[in-house]
Amino acid sequence: MRTPGSSRLLELLEHHFALESLERSLGVGAEAIPTEVWEAGLLGPLRDFLGRPGKSLRAGLVQAAWRASGAPGAAPEMLAVMIEVLHAGSLVIDDIEDDAVERRGRPALHRLYGIPRALNAGNWLYFWSELLLGSIRLDPARELEARRWLARTIFNCHHGQAIDLSARATELGQSQIPELVSVVTKLKTGSLIALAMRLGALAAEAKPEDTEALASFGSSLGTALQMLDDLGGIASEPRWHKGQEDLVGARPTWPWAWLAAQLDSYSFARLRELARAVEASQLPATELASAMRSQLGDSATARVDAHLAATLDVLRSSVPDASRLTLVQMTIDRLRGSYG
């Protein structure tokens, strides 16, 4: 299974900013713009971010959906590339909105280049992904459907981000938290994973019912990914910077959802007292993380494993040929190994 690494993304990026390509793409005299202006304003920040190592999970899922649809060989490379570009754009924008400190082992882009340049770069990646989609030779009907789902996915992600930026675990009712976390996850993480699976199936010319089954699987897999990501934020030292941002901001995450569902009102209220102290900078976030881990015990890992097993079982009922799901299973194993 080949997925686009950072070297391929950088190759395409440099090609786009070559003079001839810019003139063809923009339709203006690109030679009038000094190369150092492009370097400072867009190419440099993009080269920095796209050159950082990522998991390429979504690109791998495009290939997995292609194979699960029964198509031979590999999916069009540009399909996997455009998914990774779209995801990169969402990370840049999310980091600005969350005022994140770090991303992929380096300072978040806005902390290096300022919010205006980072914001422009993140949005540019959204639009570049759409242009890359147009370079794939899909038949007109499937390309139209792919474009519609791309637009809907970005639309859904922005709804989810609006909730994520505004809801606080310290203010919501205990019974509200589990469903809210589930909805936000489906709108953000689930939508993008579902798109990767859907585009792989569309390119493979899968039957409509198979395409929907694979997209549904992607949405559910996205929930598992977010569960693992949120859990790692309080339980895994390499993920601690992300977890600290969530705890200080009192963002509703899956650990909050699980604890809201399993704790009595008195125990949950005590946990929220700690969270309010963290919000007010009266208590280190590490103490809240420790309390949440203690309350969760081993139940969180069991919940994630159960969700992954159920998700794969549903897909197997739609795709009974086990050989077509080999890449799907490999992706799940890689996901579990990366976050677990």
| pLDDT for the residue numbered 62 | 95
Distances in Å between the Cα of 119 and the Cα atoms of 53, 174, 238 are 21, 35, 26
Residue 187 in tokens: 């709108």
Say whether pLDDT at 3 is over 70.
Answer: no
CB 228 within 8 A of CB 339: yes
Encode pLDDT of 229-286 as tens digits. Answer: 999 999 877 677 777 889 999 999 999 999 999 999 999 999 999 999 999 999 999 9
- CA-to-CA distance for 325 and 56, rounded, in angstroms? 18
Reported as a single tens digit per residue, the pLDDT across 289-333 is: 999 999 999 899 999 999 999 999 999 999 988 899 998 998 888
Mean pLDDT of the chain: 92
Give 210 or 339, the one with higher predicted confidence: 210
User: What's the pTM?
Assistant: 0.92
Q: How many CB atoms lie within 10 A of CB 62?
A: 31
Number of Cβ atoms within 10 Å of the Cβ of 291: 17
- Alpha-carbon torsion 191, 195, 201, 207, what sign? positive
The pLDDT of residue 340 is above 70: no
The whole-number pLDDT of residue 1 equals 41
How confident is the model at residue 83, as a pLDDT? 95
Tell me how far apart the alpha carbons of residues 319 and 313 are, in angstroms, rounded to a whole number.
10
Q: Say what the pLDDT of residue 67 is.
A: 94
Structural domains of the chain ordered from first start: 6-339 (1.10.600.10)
The residue-averaged pLDDT of 189-204 equals 96
pLDDT digits (tens, 9 = 90+) for 29-75: 778 889 999 999 999 999 999 999 888 889 999 999 999 999 999 99
Q: Which two tokens stand for residue 107?
A: 């300072």
> How far is Cα 190 from Cα 188, in angstroms, rounded to an integer?
6
Q: What is the pLDDT of residue 333?
A: 87
Is the confidence at residue 4, as pLDDT, over 70?
no
pLDDT value of residue 180: 98
Whether 96 shows a pLDDT value over 60: the answer reads: yes
